[in-house]
Amino acid sequence: MPEQPSAALTQKAGSTCVSNVAFQNFPLRYQQRMQEIACHLQERDGLPAGYVIPALQNARFNARAVEMMTPPPPSAAPATPYPWWRYRDRFLRQNRLDRGVRFWRDHAALLQAVSQKYGVPGPILMGILNIETGFGTFLGNFSVLNSNLSLALALPGRRRFFLHQTAETLKLAQRLGVPPGTLQGSQAGAMGMSQFLASSYLRYGVTWNDPPGGPMPNLWHSPADVLASTANFFRGHGWQPGQPVLSQVSGNRGANVAPFLQGRHPLARLRAAGIRPKAPSGLPGSTPVGLLRLQTEHGPTLFIAYPNFYAIMGYNPNTYYSATVWAYAEAITRIING
């Protein structure tokens, strides 16, 4: 462990921050940038030098996290599209469904209570836990602070994002009362059964049935806190209780669907164009919806995406991800209902 800073710490000229120290666990090429980050955390995020400097000196550069998060170089040859149904089926394997059934049996009353309070169906919450960590079977073993710092240094295009997550990680550790380096998660800095980023943990994390100002939620070990926090996240991203997520389109023969495949449009416009869902939603014609063309095992298939689909995309902006959360929720519901 590096020697802890003391009165020997100095300040940059014209700055109120402490940063003129060495960060021995980071490559030489990043030393100046680390000093800038130290200043940023103190001046922009209000974190005291006595907390920031030891935390950064005890952190380490994680080249593996950088490697895993670096996009592949562009290829001259066009990539073969990966069909949605193959992505979906990775998360609908029998062992995944079996885990969901066990989770439902163990927490049925809790799932119902959380759903009643927040308006988010239990199977949708289970769809998140299934994809993110297999219901807590793999939570990640990366230091969240190391990952966020390393990615802020090595990925210039996402520097602002990961610098913000670095600050939020330090604040979260303070709130939890633990050393910052002990927070464990994914290479992207996501934590717990529901894989919350530090910023989401602080903003949406709730302790189930606990009054405001009570203890911090435990998103690693408390299914109640995990489910409530995930439902709270959805509510904060526009989830509409009682509304559908996706519906396959029926009766679109001869319809010109191209104008509707980008952006969102009033539901009435799709109806007028002959694009109708198999299961009527009962929503007003002014409801903004999207039209998706997803590759299923039966070929290209059209789906109407309702506002709740986009609430799921607040969790992960990938269309395949949100559609798979819905598909898992549908599958587990069928199993539970017999």
pLDDT tens digit sequence for 18-65 = 988 999 999 999 999 999 999 999 999 999 999 999 999 999 999 999
Taking residues 154-182, report their average pLDDT: 97
Q: How many CB atoms lie within 10 A of CB 333?
A: 16
CA distance 253 to 183: 53
pLDDT in tens, 276-287: 999 989 999 999
Q: What is the pLDDT of residue 79?
A: 74
HSE value, Cβ hemisphere, 13 Å, CA-based, for 146: 22
Q: What is the pLDDT of residue 213?
A: 63
Would you call 101 helix, strand, or coil by DSSP?
A: helix
Q: pLDDT band at residue 251, thresholds of 50, 70 and 90?
A: confident
Q: pLDDT band at residue 212, thresholds of 50, 70 and 90?
A: low
Taking residues 193-198, report their average pLDDT: 98
Under a CB-based contact definition with an 8 Å cutoff, are residues 57 and 24 in contact?
A: yes
CA distance 218 to 112: 20
List all residues 6 or more positions away from 189 whose beta carbon is below 8 Å from its beta carbon: 142, 144, 147, 148, 151, 162, 165, 169, 197, 198
pLDDT in tens, 92-150: 999 999 999 999 999 999 999 999 999 999 999 999 999 999 999 999 999 999 999 99
Question: What is residue 136's DSSP assignment?
Answer: T
